[in-house]
């Protein structure tokens, strides 16, 4: 695959950000936003880019597996299903690893199982019509989603009871949070289908919303939503939701100051835009992500002194979040159960993935034919 630059419309939340990287190393740089902030064409240093380096190996067959991770998503899990369906329809994921958290654990499990995402979507609709009353209200899904999850899984794989073995072999990792200690755990092996089902449910256990209870009992422990400790759903011991949120909060504050100051300068002192923008860039602090391990770098890639510290090797990852390619409204994360809303979200995820096929093709092998 080439190391061409991918245009990406997501925010600074994507994977790992570093200052001063060249455009040739950028895999998901938001060029339009950078131009608006005077960081690409007017500043001396490029402000935001993400480095994806290909392996330098004489053996072309020796490559590290790509991890496809699905973040926490609440009611937007159907959007992620749409993305997963497109990936399944158009790319070979046989050599990939899979991980997920909360609503994202469902899409990750489907890909790891090799089960048709379209078929799973049909089963969900069937179960929802059975569990949810005909006169659907905005709150009808709350307290019922646990039943929907359980019945969907048991119906979908009733003739495939060994699916739990298959997802283990395909390196599925489901992020959960142990309660009340609020420590992160990963479930990577299962004893049977019900064990797998309860791991998926534990990962998505938003207190009181999923089943009306604050937590779920599983494997002799209590669990709540995996997003509390591993929001991005990555199979990574070093990842912490809270330190990641703190990093992005600081980065957002700096970005807001920079963009606001640039806008004011453009309006009142247009002739001084470039020198003032450079001055702001020089004096505002730069932050480094606390999570080198979630950067999409390969273990045998050389260290880049201006980019990610290569001394902490990690694997390539494709993280699918509901806001990867678009800004989602707050209502998107509401646990809706009306079929038209779900269908719209599923189609939106599929269409967004199709529109960004070229990004996916940089990391995944397209299916022949």
Per-position DSSP letters for 101-121, written without gaps between them: ETTHHHHHHHHHHT--HHHHH
Q: What is the CA radius of gyration of the chain?
A: 21
Is the model's pLDDT at 6 over the cut of 70? no
Q: Is 270 domain-assigned?
A: no
* Catalytic residue from among 14, 25, 30, 225: 225
Per-residue pLDDT reduced to its tens digit, 181-235: 999 999 999 999 999 999 999 999 999 988 889 999 999 999 999 999 998 888 8
Higher pLDDT, 29 or 91: 91
CB-facing half-sphere around the CA of 311: CA atoms within 13 A? 2
Catalytic residue, from 9, 51, 99, 102: name it. 102
Structure tokens, 231: 């929001």
pLDDT, tens digit, 9 for 90 and up, residues 299-357: 333 333 332 222 234 568 888 988 888 888 888 888 888 888 889 999 999 999 999 99
Q: Is 286 a catalytic residue?
A: no
DSSP 279-291: HHHHHS-----S-
- Does residue 263 belong to any structural domain of this protein? no
Give the confidence band of 138 by pLDDT, cuts at 50, 70, 90: low
Asked about 225 being catalytic, the answer comes back as yes
Contact 188, 172 (CB under 8 A): yes
**223, part of any domain:** yes
Evaluate whether residue 277 is within a structural domain: no
Residue-range definition of the domain harbouring residue 341:
69-240+313-366
Which token pair is 109? 């499990």
What pLDDT, on the 0 to 100 scale, is given for residue 261?
85
* Residues 65 and 74 sit within 8 Å (Cβ to Cβ): no
How many domains does the chain fold into? 1
Round to whole Å and give the CA distance between 333 and 103. 10
pLDDT band at 274 (very low <50, low <70, confident <90, very high): confident
What mean pLDDT value characterizes the chain?
77
Q: Is residue 198 part of a domain?
A: yes
> Would you state the pLDDT for residue 290?
58
Sign of the C-alpha dihedral computed for residues 54, 87, 341 and 200 taken in this order: negative
- Please give the biggest Cα pair distance in the chain: 70
């Amino acid at each position: 695959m080439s190391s061409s630059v991918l245009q990406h419309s997501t925010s600074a939340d994507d994977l790992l950000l570093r200052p001063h990287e060249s455009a040739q190393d950028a895999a998901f740089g938001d060029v339009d936003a950078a131009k608006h902030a005077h960081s690409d064409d007017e500043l001396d240093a490029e402000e935001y880019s993400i480095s994806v380096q290909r392996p330098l190996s004489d053996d072309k067959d020796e490559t590290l597996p790509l991890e496809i991770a699905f973040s926490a998503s609440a009611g937007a899990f159907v959007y992620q299903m749409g993305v997963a369906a497109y990936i399944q329809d158009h790319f070979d994921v046989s050599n990939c690893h899979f991980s997920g958290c909360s609503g994202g654990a469902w899409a990750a499990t489907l890909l790891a199982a090799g089960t048709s995402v379209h078929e799973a979507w049909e089963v969900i609709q069937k179960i929802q019509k059975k569990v949810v009353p005909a006169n659907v209200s905005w709150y009808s899904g709350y307290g019922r989603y646990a039943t929907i999850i359980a019945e969907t899984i048991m119906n979908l794989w009733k003739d495939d009871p060994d699916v739990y073995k298959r997802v283990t072999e395909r390196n599925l990792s489901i992020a959960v949070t142990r309660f009340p200690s609020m420590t992160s755990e990963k479930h990577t092996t299962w004893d049977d289908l019900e064990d797998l089902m309860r791991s998926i449910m534990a990962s998505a256990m938003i207190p009181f919303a999923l089943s009306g209870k604050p937590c779920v009992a599983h494997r002799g422990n209590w669990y709540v939503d995996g997003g509390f400790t591993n929001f991005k759903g990555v199979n990574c011991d070093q990842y912490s939701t809270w330190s990641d949120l703190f990093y992005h909060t600081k980065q957002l504050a700096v970005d807001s100051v920079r963009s606001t100051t640039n806008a004011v300068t453009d309006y009142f002192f247009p002739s001084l835009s470039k020198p003032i923008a450079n001055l702001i860039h020089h004096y505002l602090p730069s932050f480094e992500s606390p999570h080198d391990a979630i950067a999409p770098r390969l273990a045998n890639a050389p260290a880049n002194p201006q980019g990610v510290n290569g001394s902490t090797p990690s694997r390539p990852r494709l993280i699918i979040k509901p806001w990867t390619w678009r800004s989602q409204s707050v209502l998107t994360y509401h646990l809706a159960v009306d079929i038209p809303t779900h269908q719209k979200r599923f189609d939106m995820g599929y269409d967004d993935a199709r529109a960004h096929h070229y990004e996916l093709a940089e990391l995944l092998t397209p299916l022949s034919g």
